[in-house]
Amino acid sequence: MLAESRLTPAALAAIRRFLEPGEDLAVISTWADQQQEIPRTGPWHYVNVPIAESRYDARDCPPQGCVAVKIEDFRRVLLDPDASRKEKQQALRYMMTSMMPQARLQPRAPISMVRTSP
């Protein structure tokens, strides 16, 4: 898989610690679309920046979260020594299979340039 080929050996080893036997990033690439554990995660996949704004601001994120906030939330989980293996697996799966591929799957401007009408 292209994503795995771009990781350092240390990063790939860290990721593999949270995958199940036989899994790789290709195998879990649709996990976020199929998971049933957490309802209403759609807004975690994007952020709407008003067209009149030149960049993202935290107020652009709805109360249930957006991609900018969730990336930081899941980063904290992955770095938390007290987080359970299941919590870390879930954070990794969202980060690697739902949020990061957006730039690859859909041609979009960087977050600071994504705009919507007012």
The pLDDT tens digits for 45-90 are 788 888 888 888 888 888 888 888 888 899 999 999 999 999 998 8
Map out the domains of the chain with their CATH numbers. 2-113 (1.10.575.10)
Q: Distance (Å, rounded) from C-alpha 17 to C-alpha 39?
A: 26
- Choose from 25-29, 47-51, 103-107, 110-114 the range with maximum mean pLDDT: 47-51
* pLDDT of 108 above 70: no
Q: Six-digit token pair at 103?
A: 């730039």
Q: Distance (Å, rounded) from C-alpha 91 to C-alpha 107?
A: 24
Instruction: Enter the pTM of the model.
Output: 0.69
In 29-116, at which residue ranges do the beta strands (DSSP E only) sit? none
- Choose from 19-33, 35-49, 73-87, 104-118 the range with maximum mean pLDDT: 73-87
